[in-house]
């Protein structure tokens, strides 16, 4: 699945959880097994993701500026 963020990974973790496989599913299943289903991310992971997002946004902005500059040059009589 591509495109918008999906919950595919979560659903795979949920379906392969030992308690789910044994049919021990009830209303508070996710709450009871949240430490298994939602592993804690480290601060370093968050910082790395933030840095990568900043770099990606900067590259995108540079590409947009370049495209707009090229269009403005093409429109000069």
Query: What whole-number distance in Å separates Cα of residue 1 and Cα of residue 49?
Result: 21
In the chain, domain spans: 1-40, 44-77
CB 19 within 8 A of CB 29: yes
What does each of the 77 residues of the chain score in pLDDT, given as a tens digit?
556 567 788 888 888 999 989 998 888 888 899 888 887 767 777 778 778 888 888 888 888 888 888 989 888 87
pLDDT number for residue 62: 86
pLDDT number for residue 17: 92
pLDDT number for residue 75: 86
> In this structure, what DSSP letter does residue 6 have?
-
CB 53 within 8 A of CB 77: no
């Amino acid at each position: 699945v591509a495109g918008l963020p999906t919950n595919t990974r979560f659903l795979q973790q949920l379906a392969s959880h030992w308690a789910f496989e044994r049919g021990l599913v009830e209303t508070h299943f996710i709450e009871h097994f949240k430490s298994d289903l939602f592993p804690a991310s480290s601060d370093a992971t968050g910082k790395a993701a933030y840095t990568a997002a900043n770099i990606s946004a900067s590259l995108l902005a540079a590409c947009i500026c370049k495209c707009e500059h090229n269009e403005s040059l093409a429109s000069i009589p």
